[in-house]
Amino acid sequence: MRHILRRYITRDPTGRPIAVQSERLTDDGEGRLQLDNERKVHRCSGCRRPVLELSESRGVCGWCFSRECCVHCVSRCQVCSRQLCGHCRQGFGGPPAVTVCAVCRQRLITREAIEDQLTMEQTEFDRHIAQQRLVYQFEALRLAEGRLQQAARFQEARLGIGRRTKLQWAMHLLGLIVVNLFKGLKYVIRRALP
């Protein structure tokens, strides 16, 4: 009985075998040949898939430095460009959705919280400006109404009209109601402002 054994070994740059293919040809002496092929491959420590060729290996994870990466599980942090294995990569769902490492994910979460705080402060400021604008508009309307009343009094004095008609009394009372309404609104708005 004769055995012929042939091995093909694929090694990585450090000299470690990543794939061993062996062929065993056995002759039993009676003219019957038997060929056995056996292939042992190194498995990627990141995703546990077999790495058949050297070109499929991508080196060591840049975050944990303990797991290897292959073409199937390797990814890059889209912030710091660090090479990540399947266990170390994390996702960030904020706009836009990206694949990141743990440190960059924490930085993005902090940045998103700061941006949310700034947005809330800007909204509060815009609301305050709008309330102030309404206060100034009410004040302008009150002053315009006062100017109209004063002009009406001057007109009455110039024309010598001492008595008021029912329409003039109604307009005068309506003006007083409007002035008191604006005073009430001004008080409510000032109480609502922080």
Q: Which of the four pLDDT bands, split at 50, 70 and 90, describes residue 140?
A: very high
Tell me how far apart the alpha carbons of residues 24 and 2 are, in angstroms, rounded to a whole number. Answer: 10
Q: Alpha helices of the chain — where are they, by DSSP H?
A: 102-159, 166-192
Tell me how far apart the alpha carbons of residues 170 and 179 are, in angstroms, rounded to a whole number. Answer: 14
- Model pTM greater than 0.85? no
Question: In this structure, what token pair is assigned to residue 164?
Answer: 């008021």
Q: Which of the four pLDDT bands, split at 50, 70 and 90, describes residue 136?
A: very high
- Is the pLDDT confidence value at 84 over 80? yes
User: What is the pLDDT averaged over residues 153-165?
Assistant: 73
94: helix, strand or coil: coil
Q: What are the CA-CA distances from residue 119 to residues 37, 60, 123, 171 (Å)?
A: 66, 41, 6, 47
pLDDT of residue 114: 95
pLDDT of residue 54: 67
- Is the pLDDT confidence value at 15 over 90? no
Helix (H) or strand (E) holding 10: strand 2-11
pLDDT of residue 48: 73
